[in-house]
Amino acid sequence: ENGADIAVIYVGDEAPALEVCREIEAMGRRAKAYFCDVRDEKAVEETVKAVSRDLGKADILVNNAGVTRDGLMLTMKDEDYDLVLDINLKGAFHMIRACYRDFMRKRYGKIINISSIAGLVGNIGQVNYAASKAGLIGLSKSVAKELGSRGVCCNCIAPGFIETAMTKDIKEDNPLLQQVPMKKMGKPEDVA
């Protein structure tokens, strides 16, 4: 709506990414979907090069990749801990680093990292997720200090409970929602 061409990066099912591209194109903008596992540094670098070639160098980077593998710490498997940290935190690190030089050279850029309220207050059964989202807050603050003098802005958004595929199983009577002042989940549009 504000005139940006959009690169949609996905892993898994391509259909939702293509649907988002169609919606963007219906608004008169260019959009293209790219498969990329953000855990893979080389894949990230190649994807950023492909985006630059197809749509031009990025002006805005939104790091929104995220997964959960919930469970109590006592029984949490190392691979579930590592997977969540690798996607939620290290994936953002890879994406920022792949765009870093271009942003620095242009002396312009916006980096928006999507964290979570869990990164601020923690959550039972989410030591991996809360740690990844808290780490994303620290990463954002450090990147902001590194790149701010170059005209690059880095911010972090820490939404509460938002209606997404990740929260689809949370019921209205969930005690966590009782902590939300409005007693209901927000919508993606509220975050935007």
31-71 tens-digit pLDDT: 999 999 999 999 999 999 999 999 999 999 999 999 999 99
User: Model confidence over 151-177: pLDDT tens digits?
Assistant: 999 999 988 777 777 677 767 777 667
For residue 124 the two structure tokens come to 């039972």
Active site residues: 129
Q: Are strands 60-63 and 109-114 parallel, antiparallel or unpaired?
A: parallel
| C-alpha 175, offset from chain centre | 26
- How high is the mean pLDDT of the chain? 93
In this prediction the pTM is 0.88
Q: Are strands 31-35 and 6-10 parallel, antiparallel or unpaired?
A: parallel
